[in-house]
Amino acid sequence: MDEAQLESVVGMALEEAKRAGATGAEAVVSVDSGLAVTVRLGEVETLEYHRDKGLGLTLYFGQRKGNASTADFRPEAVREAVAAAAAIARYTAEDPYAGLADAARMASDFPDLDLDHPWALEPEAAVELAKRCEDAARGADARIKNSEGASVNTSRGTMVYGNSHGFIGGYTGTRHSLSCSVVAEQDGGMQRDYWYTASRNPSLLEGAEDVGRETARRTVRRLGARKLSTRQVPVIFESDLARGLIGHFVGAIRGGALYRKASFLVDHAGQPVFPAFMQIDEQPHLPGALGSAPFDGEGVATAPRDLVCDGVLQGYVLDSYSARRLGLETTGNAGGVHNLTVQPGAHDLAGLVREMDTGLLVTELIGHGINMVTGDYSRGAAGFWVENGELCYPVEEITIAGNLKEMFAGIAAVGNDVDARGNIRTGSILLDRMTVAGE
């Protein structure tokens, strides 16, 4: 179904909601299709096509609301979904903060964000691509003895959102990826690692052999890992892990956590959270980026904004409901952030390692020991011990611990090795000090 057909489904749902007596309504419809192939040890392990669709409805009767969904777009099925949402609303308590986002905030401009790059990939070609990737990894080093496989994924989806303000809008986007994971052995020890590439545009993916060789390099370098004694040292989060670190910051300034008083950054707007050199902004209209969108999940127009200026928190990440709970305005973040970008520094990862001189480079994190109320942070880790600005040896079975508030304030540098494979974009991050617990 194309965007125009989906708009007609949304329009039908909103009309049915009006007939049911709803004082407000919103509907989102989506279709998604794609291909996923996994090859392991040269043999096809999975080959799957998927085609999904769905309609989600929210009806408001004053301050009461009800939700319902269906995967059937026939008129009678849509009417049944509307009736179900209306019935649910009758049994819910009134919520003074419930309702659509303000009509004045609805998007009216829909820029071409270059999100749609279909990949006419036949199954045979996908299998061949995965085989080339895995073969490159397995052939890169004799110590690679096993494989967890190589995967190729391609998908294309269209989303249309509309509400009773008269807003209706949609867009189509693609996402393609290639990944690989292998196992290396040496002196009775085994290590695994992986690598992947992802983009909306298949022509911007790393080559299959490049992904395979990088997978092999990352795996083999972990062989001979040692443990560390407990100490306090500087720590570098490699860029893909640094995205998670910044993700904890985003989680702490989300409206839901703030109005529940379940964040260590409650009431911190206007206060320093990071060092003065830190700048973080949101760039929702970056052409071709994985986090780009012309409007959020409530139809509110997205726009570039500064979230952290000179280390000072400028605002929060809010949808209309959490904004009302906090007495603020929505920031256009229903559904999440859009290309949240940490401005990079001057050094690549090797330069950060030299700047750190002695400390720990973290390349893998294990577990989820994070308390968002207090900011306490403790996770299993693996990586490399660094001395004199050079990687000395791999380490494993260690725990890194600190407090996120102190960790953010203690960021010493951000690398220019930006990982852009998601809706948070950052380079590697050097922290001045964390506790490393080992033997």
Q: Tell me how far apart the alpha carbons of residues 3 and 44 are, in angstroms, rounded to a whole number.
A: 34
* Two structure tokens written together for 269: 């707007």
Q: Tell me how far apart the alpha carbons of residues 363 and 395 are, in angstroms, rounded to a whole number.
A: 10
* Two structure tokens written together for 168: 């209706």
Q: Determine the pLDDT at residue 23.
A: 97
Rounded average pLDDT per 10-residue block, the chain, 439 residues: 94 98 98 98 98 98 97 98 97 96 96 97 98 99 98 98 98 98 96 98 98 98 96 98 98 98 98 98 98 98 98 99 98 98 98 98 96 98 98 97 98 98 98 94
Q: Tell me how far apart the alpha carbons of residues 271 and 436 are, in angstroms, rounded to a whole number.
A: 29
Q: Tell me how far apart the alpha carbons of residues 372 and 259 are, in angstroms, rounded to a whole number.
A: 13
Half-sphere exposure of 393 (CA within 13 A, CB side): 7
What's the gap between Cα 88 and its chain centre?
Answer: 32
Q: Tell me how crowded residue 431 is: count the other CB atoms within 10 A of its CB.
A: 26
Closest alpha carbon to 267 in 281, 279, 253, 256: 253
- How long a stretch of residues is the chain? 439
Give phi and psi for 174, each to the nearest 5: -125, 160
Q: Tell me how crowded residue 64 is: count the other CB atoms within 10 A of its CB.
A: 18
CA-to-CA separations, 343 to 59, 312, 325, 346, in angstroms, rounded: 41, 14, 31, 10
* Two structure tokens written together for 238: 């490699």
CA trace torsion 153, 158, 159, 160 (10° rounding): 180
CA-to-CA separations, 135 to 193, 335, 345, 439, in angstroms, rounded: 15, 39, 36, 38
Residue type, 351: G
Closest alpha carbon to 165 in 297, 23, 66: 23
pLDDT tens digits, residue range 388-428? Answer: 999 999 999 999 999 999 999 999 999 999 999 999 999 99
Cβ contacts of residue 15 below 8 Å, gap of 6+?
A: none
Q: Determine the pLDDT at residue 1.
A: 81
Q: Tell me how far apart the alpha carbons of residues 35 and 50 are, in angstroms, rounded to a whole number.
A: 6
Please provide the distance, in angstroms rounded to a whole number, between the alpha carbons at the two ends of the chain. 59
User: Could you tell me the CATH superfamily of domain 3-222?
Assistant: PmbA/TldD superfamily (3.30.2290.10)
Strand order in the sheet with 424-425: 312-313, 305-309, 280-282, 340-342, 424-425
Q: Determine the pLDDT at residue 439.
A: 78
Expressed in percent and rounded to 5, the helix, strand and coil fractions of the chain are 25, 40, 35
Q: Tell me how far apart the alpha carbons of residues 397 and 405 are, in angstroms, rounded to a whole number.
A: 25
- The label of the residue with tokens 């409206």 reads 255
- Pairing of the two strands 359-370 and 231-237: parallel
Closest alpha carbon to 120 in 181, 206, 33: 33
Q: Tell me how far apart the alpha carbons of residues 311 and 182 are, in angstroms, rounded to a whole number.
A: 40
Q: Determine the pLDDT at residue 39.
A: 99
Enumerate the domain spans of the chain: 3-222, 231-437
CB 140 within 8 A of CB 150: no
Q: Tell me how far apart the alpha carbons of residues 163 and 10 are, in angstroms, rounded to a whole number.
A: 8
Segments of 164-310 assigned E as strands: 168-186, 189-199, 231-237, 280-282, 305-309
- The label of the residue with tokens 């060092």 reads 275
CB 194 within 8 A of CB 177: no
Q: Tell me how far apart the alpha carbons of residues 404 and 367 are, in angstroms, rounded to a whole number.
A: 16
Helix ranges, 260-366 (H): 320-326, 349-356
